[in-house]
Structure 1
């Protein structure tokens, strides 16, 4: 049985940047699916597969955000925020890699703690860090001009 309530996708999680919102939806669905499938008797191999899949998609998503940050000058205009954003991506990745390494070494990890971390991190990152980036992009004349017909 699931330990955590599923993350409900609603307007509070919408950044207004279509590509980011689409990828966030996939991450939310992936975490909700993992929570539903991770029962107390699940084996390490299943946990390892979930962390592998999640990390792979998260890295793809982080690359998307970081390309947008670079393309529209977020680091030049808001260097502290850009550094924090990138650092959060690296810290998330390192934590998931560490969990995977523990599993590969046969060291159990708490599925409850893992899910609490993943769910909490994602929601917090979207509501704070990603929304800051989105506000910057939406205020950028260059971004608005390029995406006027696609958003």
Structure 2
């Protein structure tokens, strides 16, 4: 049994330049897009959901949907549905907020940020594998 400790695994590694991805054809995954592992997609538990998100520079990735403590969805009320929306996930503590230097409220202690069309599958996974009550 392989040790699966990370909340995010990617199919490829972040490069040194912004938005650069390298080693995307490697069958082994990278923890947080940085650290090489000996874990393959097949080794991940069912609670890891496949995503392709702009947050990880369009790389294929897998996000843990079990053991989630808190989430927050922040929509952008203009433009396309989900394209520029964000979902913040915390695995340790409740999310906290503070005003940034421009006076806008921002989430400060999240572990993973998901955006785009990956929000729905991740949300469905959280509903299935975590003990979170969704209110409307």
| TM-score, L = length of structure 1 | 0.25
Bigger radius of gyration among the two: 1
Higher helix share: 1
